[in-house]
Amino acid sequence: MKENICTIPVNEVFEQNDGCPICRMRNLIEAKYIDYITGPAMMEPDIRIETNRAGFCERHFGMMLTSGRARLPVALTLESHLTEVREKMLMKKPDKKVLEAIEKLEGSCFVCEYIEPHLARSLETVCLNYKNEPEFRKLYESQPYLCLTHYRMMIQAAKKPLGRDYDAFAEATRRLVLKYADSLQTDIVAFRDAFDYRNAGKPLSPEAKISIERTIEFLTSRPAATAKSDDN
Ligand SMILES: [Zn+2]
Ligand SMILES: [Zn+2]
């Protein structure tokens, strides 16, 4: 099941041309998994073993509750997960092993764990399309930007599938990202300068007005409001 619930239509995603295309792919995979995990999958014993072990991060617990699905499957998953936490972590002395287990749980999430390999496969497809389809290459290079995290992931994923095209790909990607970061810098400076009384009444461009939100999204790979609530 886990392998095939999520085939990302890479070309379609790149045709949208709005924001970071890898964020869009990640969001698609994420939404499909949230949908999957709040449906009948929650009752499957092998899934239950996994959710008991990995738990969920704050973001994905939140999405499970706001997905519009029934709350009973969430309650059943939590009941089972909590049983495991109590048995393995709280019904014995807090020795090194127990504390390590809690720490490991803090950093793990069932949904995050599944996004990772799916996204990796989609990134490989991006690389192969770039290598083999001139049209896709144009589409790739006309993206507004890649967020910083996905710039890193894209470059890391590219070496093997791109082969001798790797250098050109890495350079094209770097230029794309730098160009956007330059424009963010300009807009942030304009936003800052708007606080100077000497600039009173000077109009601010729409991009500069939301430059804080855009910069946060570029740096964190999530829209600013989400990034903010993630920190709380
Ligand atoms: Zn991104
Ligand atoms: Zn997660």
What is the DSSP track for 131-177?
HH-HHHHHHHHTSS---HHHHHHHHHHHHHHHGGGHHHHHHHHHHHH
**DSSP designation for 201:** T
Residues with CB under 5 A from ligand 1 (ion): 20, 22-23, 147, 150, 221
Please check the confidence at residue 197 and state whether its pLDDT lies above 50: yes
User: What per-residue confidence (pLDDT) applies to 88?
Assistant: 95
Task: Determine the average pLDDT of the residues in 20-27.
Answer: 96
pTM for the model: 0.87
Checking if the pLDDT of 226 tops 70, the result is no
* Span from the CA of 154 to the centroid of ligand 1 (angstroms): 10
b/e sequence 104-124, b meaning 16+ C-beta within 10 Å: ebeeebbbbebbeebbebbbb
**How remote is the CA of residue 189 from the centroid of ligand 2, in Å?**
34
Cα–Cα distance measured from residue 124 to residue 20, given in angstroms and rounded to the nearest whole number: 17
Residue 43 confidence class, pLDDT cut points 50, 70, 90: confident
* Distance from residue 149's CA to the centre of ligand 1 (Å): 6
Q: Centre a 10 Å sphere on the Cβ of residue 125 and count the other Cβ atoms it contains.
A: 18
Chain segment 79-90, per-residue pLDDT in tens:
999 999 999 999
